A and B are shown apart, each in its own frame.
Chain A
Amino acid sequence: MVIDLVRCVGCDACTVACQTENGTPQGIHYAPVFRREIGKYPQAKVVFVPTLCMHCENPACLKACPTSAISKRKKDGIVLVDQDKCCGTKACMAACPYGALHFYDHQSGMYGDTLTPPEEYWLQKFQVGTAQKCTFCAHRVDRGEKPACVVTCPTNCRIFGDLDDPQSEVSTLIRERSGTQARPEAGTNPSVYYLR
């Protein structure tokens, strides 16, 4: 994926779309948009930084997980957490340089412990006491669709494609606009590139 920071207007539509698509528990946002202040008055400005799991080539979370609950799909490199295997050490959260892991430690909804019917439906797929993370909408990718955050973005700042194909839109953008990875010194080789 490529994220064009110049285009992002900080509308949070991606965050909401992700939550709607995945039904994540309250407080868990797989695709938050951070704000970064640059410069000083009178030249100060705010840059919006859309994020998600970087689905790294060399994931720190996968290495740190003692239960092998985190795996990387061979066909497309998507990094997934198997909740049935996770024992909740939070080692993945301590290891991930991108804050992409979340710990779900108590089930409750908008109105406290009493869940609404939609919450009952959505929350049954999340196990309390386990780590949660962005799946790159693997269920949509398997159907040949793009992730929810990508199709919802009104400014088209999230571009999804195949990094292994040198002719793909994402590869071309990275090449032409010198796309950079987040914290390359961490040695994780993220699959998400940022354009500035």
Chain B
Amino acid sequence: MKRVANPFAESLVMGSKPQTIWGVPHSIWFFSMGIGGALFLNRALFGIDLGRVFGLIVADVLSIVLISFAGLVLISDLGKPFRFLRALMNPRTSWISIGAICDFVFLILDGLWLIADLEMGGQRPLAGLPWAGNSPLGIIFQVVAGVAAFIVIIYPGLVLAYSPSIPFWNTTLIPLQFLIFAFANAVGIALIFAFLVEVPRMLLMTWAVAEVLLLAVALLLFLAHLLNGAYSHPAAKVAVNRLIKGDLRLFFVWGALVGGLLVPLFLGIYGSLWANPGAGILLLALSGLISLPGNWFSKYAVIKAGTYAPFL
């Protein structure tokens, strides 16, 4: 078993060195947090609630499950998992700390609001709670949870972007990618639901257009990130080379760019234009489904491509 981790000192030759400290758990963390936050915001802002399960709004249930799962993945990766509450101690400068606080705020406020919104047999037995529905306190809960959800989506990107050691990560394009891809996936999940549950055609087309636009913007952001990396710093260029023609090509080019963006984009456009509604919905649902692993591949590849710059 490897006893220590310091990717920089693994070789005593000064040069660009790939980071090896973060990997699969962190990509799962980034991926789940993003989609969880975006599902909530899509429900709160655009009314995409995906129906109810056991009397609870599906979008909120999925949000809470995904964000809780991501938090547990992060905690399990800690060197001292039982000290995880200490991660709330430095919100002044640490994005992990800010994000952890927002995770808790979101889970508590949306959890409480969701419980108050429980529907059983056409009745809402907990509607009398002071924060239920659109009561003033309920609206405050929703707004604060919404702000927290937004931060939950972007803070993993900001953790990377505020890392001066790794030039490829050191760009605001990363939190933007995380944001756009998370919303694209959340709309994609709505399209999958639309395949299972009937949705008015007009609404479906609105979601399809949103999905196509978000995927197109995400694609542009990835291309901009590659260009920025190729021309900004030699260590970032090493990362770009690994992504487009090195060991991460399979994950990035085929998994993220082609599988996660181009193919879903094509399916989304084709599905929207399809004359037969049934087949069109299938293509749209496929577009949403395929973009999900694509998002994870993109996170994994960008994290693994992180390369320390030689410091002298």
Residues of A within 8 A of B (CB): 25-29, 32-37, 49, 51, 60, 62-69, 85-91, 93-99, 101-108, 127-131, 182-183, 186-188, 194
Contact = CB atoms under 8 A, between A and B. Distances in A.
B263 to A, nearest CB: 32
Indicate the size class of the contact surface on chain B: 35 or more
Contact of A188 (B160, B164, B312): B164
A87 B6 contact: no
Given A91-B94, A94-B160, 7 more contacts: A25-B3, A64-B159, A87-B81, A87-B84, A97-B165, A97-B311, A105-B5
15 contacts: A26-B4, A34-B13, A49-B312, A60-B163, A66-B87, A68-B86, A88-B80, A90-B21, A95-B163, A104-B3, A105-B79, A106-B2, A182-B312, A186-B164, A187-B164
- Chain A interface helix/strand/loop/mixed: loop
Interface of B: 1-9, 12-15, 17, 19, 21-22, 74, 78-81, 83-84, 86-90, 93-97, 100, 159-160, 162-166, 306, 308-312
Contacts of A65: 90, 94
Nearest to B88: A66
Nearest to B99: A66
A28 B4 contact: yes
The 8 closest A-B pairs by CB, nearest first: A88-B79, A99-B8, A129-B79, A66-B97, A87-B83, A186-B164, A63-B93, A66-B96
Given A60-B165, A129-B79, A182 B14 contact: no
Contacts of A60: 163-165
Contacts of A33: 12
Nearest to A37: B13
